[in-house]
Amino acid sequence: MASDNMNTANSFNITSGNRSKFTETLVKAAMILCSLVAVAVTIGIVLSLIFEALEFFKRIPLSEFLFSTEWSPQTALRSDQVATEGKFGVIPLFTGTMLISAIAMCVATPLGLASAVFLAEYASKRTRDWVKPMLEILAGIPTVVYGFFAALTVAPFIRMTGGNVGLEVSSESALAAGLVMGIMIVPLISSLSDDVINAVPQAMRDASLGLGATHSETVKQVILPAALPGIAGSLLLAASRAIGETMIVVMAAGLAANLTANPLEAVTTITAQIVALLTGDQEFDSAKTLSAFALGLLLFIVTLALNYLSLRIVKKYREKYD
Amino acid sequence: MQKTPLITAKDVDVFYGTKQALDKITLDIPEHKVTSLIGPSGCGKTTFLRCINRMNDLVDICRVEGQIEIAGQDIYAPEVDVVALRAHVGMVFQKPNPFPKSIFDNVAYGPKIHGLVSTKSDMEEVVEWSLRKAGLWEEVKDRLNETGTGLSGGQQQRLCIARAIAVKPKVILMDEPCSALDPIATAIIEELIDELRKKFTIIIVTHSMQQAARVSQRTAFFHMGNLVESGATKTIFTSPQDERTQNYITGRIG
Amino acid sequence: MTNPDANFLKGQKHLTRRYRAEQRFQWIGRIAIAASLTFLVFMVASIFWQGKGALITTKIALTVDLSTEMIDPANIKGASFDKIIKLALRTEFPEATKRKQKKRLYALVSSDAGFQLRDQILEGPALLGADQTIWVSASDDVDMLMKGHIDRNKPQNSRRLSDQQISWIDALLVKQVFNTGFFTNGDSREPELAGILSALVGSALSLLICFALSFPIGIMSAIYLEEFAKKGRWSDLIEININNLAAVPSIVFGLLGLSIFLNVFGLPRSSPLVGGMVLSLMTLPTIIIAARASLRAVPPSIREAALGMGASPVQATFHHVAPLAMPGFLTGTIVGMAQALGETAPLLMIGMVAFIVDIPGSILEPATALPVQIFLWADSPERAFLEKTSAAIIVLLIFLVLMNIIAIILRKKYEIRF
Ligand SMILES: Nc1ncnc2c1ncn2[C@@H]1O[C@H](COP(=O)(O)OP(=O)(O)O)[C@@H](O)[C@H]1O
Ligand SMILES: [Mg+2]
């Protein structure tokens, strides 16, 4: 390859040799193909979800899916049974998802933000160096482990505590799943917010401290307001993570499609239902199976919107201080 | 000098880690005058300025030795409270740094945290007073709720001055306040500084000899961490005692 | 100069209030961190506590009659080993005469006891011909009793072992030994026999596929995006795509795998091949993002030097830039693999939830994965599965810790310093 365009005293050839050009084109083509995989995956997700969901909406009208308040996807178990038409109203699943995510955010937002502020503003470098990786461990533990802990330790504990103070707590409560999920997303919020807080220019701190503000006054009144858009972005990302989380809710939240705002009752979520619909015996092409894809499409749209919004906000915020 | 100086620095040494940035600085700063600190880049002007309101406390590796007294009190004494100190020694920075809040909130911030005013109308009064003193009132009185970062560079710097004087400090420290501004904005601020010295004692770091000559009554010349000489601005500029001062003023070093 | 407030620098009264607020504020941060870390420690500790029991199992000594009447030395495998075990139990406790009593008696040993006896005889045929004392696995209930999870003081109809069964156990010679079966067996309906080997192999095969796909694709696209692609709408589109994929819920990847890999391509359901393919799609963004960061850390002077020597851009990249970025590529890949190892939901979608006793022999055979095994066991009602689940989690966590330690060492050792 090198000899092709080697220039010696008597031949000054500055056009590239054919062979090297060919391999280079080949390598480049391979690289382009590889980077198109990411696009192909997105297209694959969108097409497969839309295609199967359309099949579903041929059987169950979109309006019923979106606005009906009852979810019981029972269809015939054996061919000789009369198929009872299932009910496919997504509202209880949607509210269940929101309830659990809201509980998770209520746990994760204060913990994550307070941790981020402490790490970014107060902690010594040594403290940072060991606390940050420790918090990251929370994000690295597989969700099935959280699910196990939520179902077998946290839920019974809440039930028992609730019983002691005279509260009726279902054995699979939204609270247990939400609490544990909240802890899981703490590092997501804390590390993103930490970055955002560090991006606030030092000049803001100097100005405030130079006026005689205490450190906490500076944080509360100058730094956090300045970092607010970035923090909002990180919270949106965390919310999207909570909405899409599967194993914790499958193991700890249960399958009862209750339309309730009571965190002590059992609710189910979009993700838990997808798992329930697609594990175990399934006849393909039944409304029950196809409905999982309609749920998947809904989940994809909601999380995509949240992610997109969050990325936009954070990007805008970054530009402001660069 | 007939009056006792407001600020006296005696044998001030500053170290960043093991590197010495200031060496035995002894300097008196009189009240209600503008004192300018001049000298080539890196000679320690900013460092000295930041010693006076203890902003250097924020730099972990920075260590200050010696004594600085304001109105007879050692500001590095253990019982001194930096928050209280900074309420009396305000600072204006090189780059305008308004908070990303409204113009009103920017100015109101200091009085609010120090609990200087209690009612809304008092606060409005303080804000108006500060903005007038900073020569910004006429330009912004109709848009106090707009964000401070939307102003021009010169206006932003005057907003920062208004913010600093709103807590009615004794001393205002200014670190090259005009270096990021155009000549017109600079002229406005220089005029303002002259006006402000009636109420406040001002220490200004500047890169420009002309500016030092125009705005200050006293000048101190720093060189490589040493205070070479200080005195009345006129004397320093017309008959410097030290060769280094002369070289700097005539543009041979810098 | 006269000074109206001579002590103006000392803390004033309202300052103490402000400092209290300052302290409070700092403590809120400390408490938040402590709360999260306490949760972490508590969760991990409780799982270790529950799981450590699975490393121990209970064996029972039985005196079995291995005379030639019972076993024909020419046809050892033809003998009925279950009968021998049952006979041994009946001889030990002749009082068990009623059908129900006998059933309870037999329930003391594992249903696998006959096979264990056979294996021991096949290994040492010298045992044949006389009465021998051999060790076989106890049933899970006996195991739980020995580990103290069954309360002897409770009335007998509210525990899983009757008074008589407990008295038999007390009369028998039992010992607690290290549970090798947990690491060498596949799944089983009997808790005392269930092991994680099949799940481990399933995970390993899936990860192998995942690595084989996502490493080259991820690195190639990172190199293209970082070194060759012109900044523009096209590269922006790819970039947005990658960022969004990184945040798509994992279960959606499972739906993709189900509808495209299984239903369109017709690949075998429940196989590590499909599992690995789905996981590779999920790890791709992680690898690409890490690899790009690592490429960006290579200083431009390296590229300039190579280009200045007459290397083509492709040569400069693959001969000079990529080798320097390699530790970063590997670190990102290991982190991605660790994520993939813990992933459960997408594998449920493609049917890797099957009950797998046999160790999968190829990437096309039905298999399960370690986290899915955890999910399955967590659903089982038997008390004995609780400790199996916890122990499987411990194994999973140990693998994750090892992978992350390797990544950290790589990062520290080859950190690019220019
Ligand atoms: N935060 C710091 N850490 C280490 N060294 C510093 C720091 N700030 C200033 N210095 C050093 O102290 C010396 C004086 O700096 P400075 O006071 O900023 O100079 P001037 O303002 O006169 O240009 C310089 O040599 C500079 O490198
Ligand atoms: Mg300076």
> What is the predicted pLDDT for the residue at A2?
44
Q: CA nearest A228 in B: which residue?
A: B100
Q: For residue C12, list chain B residues with Cβ-Cβ distance below 8 A.
A: 84
Tell me which ligand sits closest to the C-alpha of residue B60. 1
From chain C, pick out residues whose CB is under 8 angstroms from the CB of B3.
1
Q: Which 3 state secondary structure label does DSSP give C174?
A: strand
In a domain, C157, yes or no: yes
What is the tens place of the pLDDT at every residue in C274-286? 999 999 999 999 9
Closest by Cα among B52, B145, C236 to A39:
C236
CA A37 to chain centre: 22
Q: b/e per residue, A103-141, with b = 16+ CB within 10 A?
A: bbbebbbbbbbbbbbbbbbbbeeeeeeebbeebebbebb
Using a CB-CB distance cutoff of 8 angstroms, which residues of chain A are in contact with residue C355?
none
Interface of B with A in 28-87 (CB under 8 A): 53, 55, 58, 82-87
Sheet of strand B19-29: strand arrangement: B19-29, B7-16, B62-70, B73-74
Q: Chain A: give the shortest CA distance to residue B72, in Å.
A: 20
CB C48 within 8 A of CB C394: yes
Q: CA gyration radius for chain B?
A: 18
Return the residue matching tokens 């009623």: C98
The CA distance from C268 to C282, in Å, is 20
Pairing of strands A87-88, B62-70: unpaired
Stated as kind and residue range, the H or E segment containing B69 is strand B62-70
C204 shares a domain with C174? no
First vs last Cα of chain A: how many Å apart? Answer: 44
Question: What is the tens place of the pLDDT at every residue in B63-86?
Answer: 999 999 998 889 998 888 888 899
Residues in C touching B83 (Cβ below 8 Å): 11, 15, 18
Same-domain check for residues C410 and C321: yes
Q: At residue A79, does pLDDT exceed 70?
A: no
Judge if C225 and C155 occupy the same domain. no
In a domain, C298, yes or no: yes
Q: What is the pLDDT of residue A257?
A: 80
**Residues in Cβ contact with A197 at an 8 Å cutoff, skipping those fewer than 6 apart:** A116, A117, A120, A121, A223, A224, A227
A209 interaction partners in chain B (CB closer than 8 Å)? 55, 58, 86
pLDDT digits (tens, 9 = 90+) for B94-124: 999 999 889 999 999 999 988 888 899 999 9
Q: Which comes out higher in pLDDT, residue C79 or B239?
A: B239
C345 occurs within a structural domain: yes
Q: What is the mean pLDDT of residues B19-39?
A: 93
Domains of chain B: 7-95+169-249 (3.40.50.300)
Number of folded domains that form chain C:
2
Pocket test of ligand 1: the residue of B47, B58, B221 to mutate, having most ligand atoms within 8 Å of its CB, is B47
Chain C hits for A143, CB-CB cut-off 8 Å, are: 342, 344-345
More confident residue, B15 or C124: B15
Asked if C201 and C170 sit in the same domain, the reply is: no
Q: Domains of chain A: which residue ranges?
A: 2-59, 87-321
- Residue B9: name the closest of B57, B49, B50, B66 by CA: B66
Q: Is the pLDDT of residue C394 over 60?
A: yes
CA-nearest residue for atom 26, ligand 1, is B42
Alpha helices, H only, chain A:
18-59, 62-67, 91-117, 125-140, 143-149, 155-164, 174-199, 202-210, 215-218, 224-244, 247-252, 270-278, 287-321
Chain A, nearest residue to B168 by Cα:
A211
| Domain extent for C249 | 197-414
| Percent of chain A surpassing pLDDT 70 | 88
- Name all chains with 3 or more CB-CB pairs below 8 Å to chain A: B, C
A6 band by pLDDT with thresholds 50, 70 and 90: very low
Asked if the model's pLDDT at residue A81 lies above 60, the reply is no
Residue C10 placed within a domain: no
| Tens digit of each residue's pLDDT (9 = 90 or more) over C56-71 | 888 888 888 877 777 7
For residues C306 and C161, membership in a common domain is answered with no
What average pLDDT score do residues A74-96 get? 70
Count of residues for chain B? 254
Instruction: Name the residue with tokens 């103070």.
Output: A165
Q: What is the largest CA-CA distance in chain A?
A: 99
**CB-defined site of ligand 1, < 6 Å:** B 16, 21, 39, 41-47, 59
Counting atoms of ligand 1 from 1, which one is nearest the CA of B45? 22
Tell me the two tokens of residue A126.
């040594």
Distance B206 CA to ligand 2 centre (A): 9
Helix (H) or strand (E) holding C346: helix C345-349
Q: Residue C300: its pLDDT value, please?
A: 85
* Ligand having the closest approach to the CA of B94: 2
* Top-ranked range on mean pLDDT: pick from A98-107, C355-364, C385-394: A98-107
Rounding to the nearest 10 degrees, give the CA dihedral for residues C371, C375, C381, C387.
Answer: 30
Q: Residue B3's closest CA among C10, C3, C9?
A: C3
Per-position b or e across C394-406, b if 16+ CB within 10 A of its CB: bbbbebbeebbee
Distance CA(C217)–CA(C229), nearest Å, equals 16
The predicted-structure confidence for A10-20, as pLDDT tens digits, reads as follows 556 665 555 56
How large is the average pLDDT for residues A90-105? 94
Q: Is residue C312 part of a domain?
A: yes
CA atoms of B72 and B91, how far apart (whole Å):
21
- How far is residue B251's CA from residue C16's CA, in Å, rounded to a whole number? 51
| 3-state SS assignment for residue C149 | coil
CA of C321 to the centre of ligand 2 (A): 40
Under 8 Å between Cβ of A244 and C251: yes
pLDDT over 90 percentage in chain C: 35
Contacts of C312 (CB under 8 A, 6+ apart): A16, A20, A24
What confidence score (pLDDT) does residue C129 get? 76
CB B136 within 8 A of CB B162: yes
Cβ contacts of residue C11 below 8 Å, gap of 6+?
Answer: B79, B81, B83, B84, C19
Task: Note whether residue C368 is domain-resident.
Answer: yes
Given CA atoms A86, A90, A95, A97 in this order, what sign does their dihedral have? Answer: positive
Task: Over range A60-71, report the average pLDDT.
Answer: 86
Which CATH number covers residue C262? 1.10.3720.10
Flag whether pLDDT at C95 surpasses 60.
yes
Note whether A209 contacts B58, CB cutoff 8 Å: yes
> Residue C100 corresponds to which tokens in the numbers above?
């129900």
Provide the pLDDT for residue A44: 93
Does residue B170 sit at the A interface (CB-CB below 8 Å)?
A: no
- Helix (H) or strand (E) holding B62, with range, is strand B62-70
Q: Among B18, B46, B64, B93, name the best residue to mutate to test ligand 1's pocket (greatest count of ligand atoms within 8 A of Cβ).
A: B46
Confidence at residue A1, expressed as pLDDT on a 0 to 100 scale = 41
B97: chain A residues, CB-CB within 8 Å: 201, 203-204, 206-207
Do the Cβ atoms of B81 and C14 come within 8 Å?
no
Is C215 a domain residue?
yes
Q: What is the pLDDT of residue A19?
A: 55
Query: What kind of architecture, by CATH, is found in domain A87-321?
Result: Orthogonal Bundle (1.10)
C124 in a domain, yes or no? no
Among the partner residues B84, B90, B95, nearest to A211 by beta-carbon distance: B90
With 80 as the cut, is the pLDDT of residue B3 above it? Answer: no
- Closest Cβ opposite residue B79 in set C1, C10, C18: C10
Same domain, C337 and C206: yes
Pick from A44, A117, A271: CB nearest C251: A271
Q: Residues C240, C379: one domain?
A: yes
Nearest-neighbour CA in chain C from A220: distance (Å): 9
Q: Which residue of C has its CA nearest to B113?
A: C18
Chain B nearest CA to A203, separation (Å): 6
Task: Read off the amino acid at residue C138.
Answer: A
Q: Which of A175, A159, A321, A302 is nearest to A248 (CA)?
A: A175
Q: Is B171:B89 a contact under the CB 8 Å cutoff?
A: yes
C259 and C403 fall within a common domain: yes
Q: Could you give the angle at the alpha carbon of B40 between the alpha carbons of B39 and B42, nearest 5°?
A: 110
Half-sphere exposure of C166 (CA within 13 A, CB side): 17
Instruction: Confirm if A208 and A220 have CB atoms less than 8 A apart.
Output: no
* Nearest-CA distance B212 → chain C (Å): 26
pLDDT band at residue C417 under the 50/70/90 scheme: low
Distance, CA of C271 to CA of C268 (rounded, Å): 6
Q: Which of A51, A56, A145, A308 to mutate to test the interface with C (most CBs of C within 10 A)?
A: A145
Region for residue C367 given its phi and psi (left: phi exceeds 0; alpha: psi -120 to 50; beta: otherwise): beta
pLDDT, averaged across chain C: 86
**C18 touches B: beta carbon within 8 Å:** yes
What is the reported pLDDT for C1? 38
| The pLDDT of residue A86 | 76
Q: What tokens were used for C15? A: 């300052």
Cα B135 to ligand 1 centre (Å): 32
Cβ-contact B163, B106 below 8 angstroms:
yes
Q: Name, in order, each residue with C-beta under 8 angstroms of C27's C-beta and a sequence gap of 6 or more.
A: none
Q: pLDDT digit string (tens) for C118-167?
A: 888 888 777 777 788 888 888 888 888 888 788 888 887 778 888 888 88
A211 contacts B164? CB cut-off 8 A: yes
pLDDT in tens, C196-222: 999 999 999 999 999 999 999 999 999
Measure B100 CA to ligand 2 centroid, in angstroms.
24
Nearest to A287 by CA among A64, A59, A52: A59
Q: Tell me the C-alpha distance between B38 and A289, whole Å.
A: 79
Asked if residue C393 and residue C246 are part of one domain, the reply reads yes
